[in-house]
Amino acid sequence: MVPNREIDFKRSIIIPETQNLVKRKPWGKCVDKKSLHCSILLPPLYSTKLCVSMLNLHIACLGKLKESYWNGAEQEYLKRMKPYAKITITELSEQPFRDVSEKKQIQKKEAETIKKYIKKNDITVALDEKGKHYSSKEFAAFVESLSSRGERITWIIGGPLGLDPSLIAKAHHVVSLSSLTFPHQMTRIILLEQLYRVATIIKNKPYHY
């Protein structure tokens, strides 16, 4: 039997800007800690750096990809991602609306639909124009740090009217892919491309230069 050895988690964590966020409630906000110190048990032959073999990703999005070019792009990136990630995409129906004055009501209904597809232990990342901006390498480090926890990462993409504020407030992280506004179908493709880029950066594959 191989004895376990204790490793100082301070040397093995891979969280860049979120190293003070240690504990979190399921599907809720993180709890700040002034000091980061805990330990884990690993066999002696294990590396002291946490490694991610496969990314576990879930994309919860409103609206279907009706045009063939969006579908083609999605299938291409899903194919490329197979060696690196398990990806589940949940397409949810948009709420019909006649005028932007219905925005709050529509957002609330869509938020209730999205919440049904978020598991208790998911790490949630909402996409919003007011979210945090990353360079590609920073984004790769961010995703790797989340994946090192071994839980599914759920990316939330809203519809034409965006996400309900309550859903954004409850997400563990809020990320902006750009200060520009894109159609939500395009946002899904951009996210997939960036996640593929993340995987190649983590695995040191020739794609990001």
For position 26, what pLDDT does the model report?
Answer: 52
Give the dihedral of Cα atoms 35, 41, 44, 47; nearest 10 deg: -50
Q: Would you kindly state where each structural domain of the chain is located, as residue ranges?
A: 5-42, 55-202
The answer to whether 142 and 134 are in contact (CB under 8 A) is yes
pLDDT tens-digit series, residues 105-136: 999 999 999 999 999 999 999 999 999 999 99
For position 100, what pLDDT does the model report?
Answer: 76
For position 27, what pLDDT does the model report?
Answer: 55
For position 208, what pLDDT does the model report?
Answer: 78
Q: Assess if CATH 3.40.1280.10 describes domain 55-202.
A: yes
For position 70, what pLDDT does the model report?
Answer: 96
The answer to whether 147 and 153 are in contact (CB under 8 A) is yes
* 150 SS3 class: coil
Strand partners, 153: 57, 123
**What Å distances lie between residue 92 and 52, 87, 157, 200, CA to CA?**
29, 16, 10, 29
**Each residue's pLDDT tens digit in the chain (209 positions)?**
434 333 332 323 333 333 333 344 455 544 433 333 333 333 333 333 444 578 999 999 999 998 999 999 999 999 999 999 999 999 998 887 877 778 899 999 999 999 999 999 999 999 999 999 999 999 999 999 999 888 999 999 999 889 999 999 999 999 999 999 899 899 999 999 999 999 999 999 988 77
